[in-house]
Chains A and B, each alone.
Chain A
Amino acid sequence: MPSDQDRILARAAREVVSGQIVNLGIGLPTRLFHYLPTEMEVLIHSENGVLGCQPLAPGSEADLEMIDSGGAYIGTRPGASVFDSALSFAMIRRSRVDITFMGAFEVDQLGNLANWKIPGKFSPGIGGAMELAQKVDRLVVLCSHNDKHGNPKILRQCRLPLTAPRCVSRIITDKAVMEVTDAGLEVIDIAEGLEVAALRAATEAELIIDEQRLGRF
């Protein structure tokens, strides 16, 4: 039985199209690389200034001047480039990054995202998340459907400070795959073995569900 995180990542890998430029956020999204087919030709962008990075091959020696934005030592693939921070964010603001994957504290049915600050508890600074969220055309949120106390993270309206308003395209959790549409949050896939009623009970947001067309993952 795969873990919840494995299932989220395996499903998320299906969102990537060969030829894309892809940014992977810190935490769970960083691991997505390992779920992409090896023959897939994509360039991974890391906002500290590299396009075409990849995890270090096991056993290979780290280059101390090559890290990704999460601080892990990295290698590069053919066609890679390195550049300064202003250029890296120009690439983001000009929407040259095709798709980005990020974690979330909260995400809502309008596509608002909160993933950087919990006032009074956690405020390390926003880093590169605001510009990625606002300017990358397709933002896919990868997160657990509920927090560790069981509270819903998929809300009617975010309560925490926003990373960016109306920026999320799709949400992939351990329970469902949801697309943000003009009509609301549409469930595309539901987790294997989960009842629709149980999904609704675990979610604060209103969900649009067409049981005839619902996929499983």
Chain B
Amino acid sequence: MTLLNQKLTAIETAIATIPDGASIMVGGFGSPGTPFALLDELLAQGQRRLTLIKNDANEPDIGIGRLIRAGRVERLITSHIGLNRIAIEEMNQGRLAVEMHPQGLLAEKIRCAGAGHYGFLTDIGLGTEIAGKRREIECDGQTWAIEPAIRADVALVHADLADAYGNLVYRGTAINFNPLMAMAADRTIAQAFKVQAPGSLVPEAIHTPCAFINQVVQVATASSEQGRSVHAV
């Protein structure tokens, strides 16, 4: 437990709580919502043998791409790594263990852990090659796959706005996995562009209540790195 009035933390102190071998959820879909400042500090501090849980692998030179390149990541639980050729190469060479899930199932497995459940039943993926890898049960005359929840030791999330108690407001498509991951780890460290005094956020507009947040770090507004991710479509 972190006392309400002791959550505002220096970035070095917050990241120093993460040990080697930790499992870490990282918010973001591509660049938006990725806690770049927290990840860069993690790179600087040198923690190793990490398990990362993120929708994608960012790109080779930013975010978790830099940790993968530096050989700090042992295992990656993800949905799609097509924009990171280094991650694909590390996977193919057997240097990075990659566990892939359909995107919506990955989100739901994390949501489920955050809601305090063991897992859920689904018909997604029946009749495809992922079917044989999961336990199935019969319920009400239908076949269902059991999808266990995914939890982590630490979650690193990015918010637009926070207050000093750790209430969070996300913005635009930077919401993505952040509110789910904020609830699914034993400790959650949030970075925010703006940190305000308690009472300044509209209670109804808060996405993640402070009960789920252990530490809040204020970071500089949108770095150029966050703008680098433009892809031709």
- Tell me whether A48 and B176 are in contact in the complex, defined as CB-CB below 8 angstroms, given that A125-B78, A130-B102, A130-B125 are known contacts: yes
Residue of B nearest to A126 (CB): B102
* A67 contacts partner chain B, Cβ-Cβ < 8 Å: yes
Any A CB within 8 A of the CB of B82:
yes
Q: Are B175 and A83 in contact (CB under 8 A)?
A: yes
Does A209 lie at the interface of the complex (its beta carbon under 8 Å from any beta carbon of B)? no
| Bound form: Cα–Cα A47–B230 in Å | 17
Label chain B's interface by main secondary structure: loop
Say which one of B12-20, B25-33, B38-46, B142-150 lies at the interface with A. B25-33
> What's the minimum C-beta distance from A180 to chain B, rounded to whole angstroms?
16
A26 touches B233 (CB 8 A): yes
B160, CB-defined interface residue at 8 Å? yes
- Does B226 touch A at the CB level, under 8 Å? yes
Chain B residue nearest to A26 in the complex (CB): B233
Q: How far is the CA of A86 from the CA of B102 in the complex (A)?
A: 12
Q: Can you name the residue of chain A whose Cβ is closest to the Cβ of B99?
A: A125
Are B177 and A84 touching (Cβ within 8 A)?
A: yes
- Mark B112-145 against chain A: 1 for CB-CB distance below 8 A, else 0: 0000000000011101111000000000000000
Does the CB pair A66–B173 fall under 8 Å?
yes
Partner of A65, one of B55, B79, B110, B174: B174
Please judge, given known A-B contacts A71-B83, A85-B180, whether A49 and B173 are in contact too, CB under 8 Å.
yes
Query: Nearest residue in B to A119 (C-beta to C-beta)?
Result: B129
Asked if B100 is an interface residue, CB under 8 A from chain A, the answer is yes
Asked if A162 CB lies within 8 Å of chain B CBs, one says yes
- Please tell me if the beta carbons of A163 and B128 are within 8 angstroms of each other in the complex: yes
